Amino acid sequence: MKPLHIRLTTLTTIVLATALFRILPHWPNVTPVAAVALFGAAAFERRWLGLVAPLAAMLLSDALIGFHSGMAAVYASFALTWLIGLYALRQPTAGRIAAASVTSSVLFFLITNFAVWFGSSFYPQTAAGLMSCYAAGLAFYNGTSFFLNGLVGDLFFSGLLFGCYYLLQQRFPVLRPAHR
């Protein structure tokens, strides 16, 4: 098997195994999808596959767990997360990975909560209504903060993906990317 095929197969397996976590029981907003988008942008030699993988995993898992009206905002957030990975993780380091994870968490929070507010009959269509929507997203429900859970999940899964892949590259040099 050619090194590119081995690398692509390994990367795809890592992404799919991680993406399956979304359909298993988990804490609210603690999923690996943003981490998969960042990882795919940084690790796939064919960059577009790094976008297709998390979006395909989302579409498949949404088909199983149900579609919802805010899907466009969620998918757009993950596409923007992939773009962050393309630019911020050209040379991945622990600091850059952490910064990209935090940035993607904040971006996801801002975009998806804006989508909840926009056109909502629950929140007034004013700046105060938007801030109320954001405050509700930050608030703890039954001991859960959707934003903090997302942040912790993104940091955890990014560390897991990038860390494990780094260790695999040390053990199997064929997984190391060609010079960019």
The pTM is what? 0.89
Question: What DSSP assignment string belongs to 145-170?
Answer: EHHHHHHHHHHHHHHHHHHHHHHHHH
CA diameter of the chain: 59
| pLDDT tens, residue by residue, 45-81 | 888 888 988 888 888 888 888 898 889 999 999 999 9
CATH topology of domain 3-174: Arp2/3 complex 21 kDa subunit ARPC3 (1.10.1760)
Positive or negative: CA dihedral 32, 38, 39, 41: positive
Q: What are the residue ranges spanned by the domains of the chain? A: 3-174
Look-up of token digits 């929140």: 123
**Neighbour count for residue 171 (Cβ, 10 Å):** 7
pLDDT in tens, 164-180: 999 999 998 888 876 65
If 0-12 CB within 10 Å is exposed, 13-18 middle and 19+ buried, where does residue 178 land?
A: exposed
